[in-house]
Structure formats: structure tokens, C-alpha cells
Amino acid sequence: MSYLAHDNTEIHRPVSTTFIVISVLVALFLNGLPWEGIWLMLRPDFVAVVMLHWCTHKPWRVGIGLSWAVGILADVADASLFGQHALAYTLLAFGGVILHHRLKMFDLRQQTTQVFVIFVLTYAVYALVHWQVNGYVVWTYFLGCVTSTLLWAPLGIMFRAVYQMRADNKGP
């Protein structure tokens, strides 16, 4: 369980821009997979999870502007209402950038409860847009909020392993 513990002495290693771009593109690809049935309701918002990770760990490199641009790409890729994802990802990035010091104080388990609130607000934007356009809210859509939150810890562990692997391969 030591991988869940927060280490204050950890040196924040640089992350290449290429790695950030590839992770966002992979998240866009995963969001574009053809989900249907119950899996569509349970589908996490991969882009939201990745963007929140980068906004909390590298807020000076990935912020509100990039989240808005990625949201526009997600709107085009998803053929959804233009600006829906852009608005949601902008608010998500704002929460991540504002709370990045607070979130990094906690271990992954404690972060998960706070990240859940950010994802609920993001999914509330989707619900409000859907309500304004169609006149009703699909409440089961909020199940994706839970799966996105459950994806937070494994994604953080995976990215930390990639950082460590990159640092170990560079040598002295």
C-alpha cells in the first residue's frame, strides 16, 4: 500500500510535452470507442480524468486554455452540442488548477473523494446542457462520474510509474 502514500520529499520530475499530448490523444480515442447499453452509462470520461490529472500535477503546462481546446476537439469527435465538453473541461481544469496544492497534500485515497466532487460538477454541466437542449435530464448518466472517480487512482499510479521509468532510464 506504499504506492498510495504521499511522499513530501518526492522530486517532481519533468514530463515531456509529447507524453502529455499522447495521453490526451489516447483519452480522446477511448472516449470515441463505440459504447452501448449499460456500458455507455458506466463509461468514464477518460479525457476528463486525464485533463484533471495534468491540471493538478502540471498546472503551469496544462490549464484552462488547453482544456477548452481539448473540449472543442471532444465536441467535434463526439458530434455533441458544440461547446458542451469545452465548458465542462474548462470548469474541471479550473477546479484542478485552483485545488492542485490541496489535492497533492493527500494520498490517492483521500484525493479520490475530493476528485469525486469535481467530477460531479463536470457531469452536472453535461446534465444542464442536456436539460436545456432536450428538456429532461438523464440521471443514469451520473454513473459515469463514479467510474471516472474510480479511474483516478489507477491512472495516477500508471503515470507515476511512467515518470519513474523515464527517470530510471536516463541514468546519472
Which own/partner contact pairs does 112-116 have at CB distance under 8 Å and 24+ positions apart? 112/149, 112/150, 112/152, 112/153, 115/52, 115/149, 115/152, 116/145, 116/146, 116/149
**Residues in Cβ contact with 85 at an 8 Å cutoff, skipping those fewer than 6 apart:** 47, 71, 72, 74, 75, 78
In whole angstroms, what is the distance from residue 60 CA to residue 18 CA?
16
DSSP labels, 7-70: -TT-------HHHHHHHHHHHHHHHTS---THHHHH---HHHHHHHHHHHH-TTTS-HHHHHHH
On whether residue 10 sits in a domain, the answer given is: no
2 in any annotated domain: no
Number of domains in the chain: 1
Place of cell 503551469: 60
**Full pLDDT tens readout for the chain, 172 residues:** 444 544 444 556 678 889 999 999 999 999 989 988 888 889 999 999 999 999 998 888 898 999 999 999 998 988 778 889 999 999 999 999 999 888 888 888 889 999 999 999 999 998 999 899 888 888 888 898 999 999 999 998 898 888 777 656 665 5
Specify if 8 maps to a domain: no
CATH number of the domain where residue 48 is located:
1.10.1760
Residue 165 lies in a domain: yes
Report if residue 9 sits inside a domain: no
Residue 30 lies in a domain: yes
Q: Is residue 71 part of a domain?
A: yes
Provide the domain limits for residue 95.
Answer: 16-170
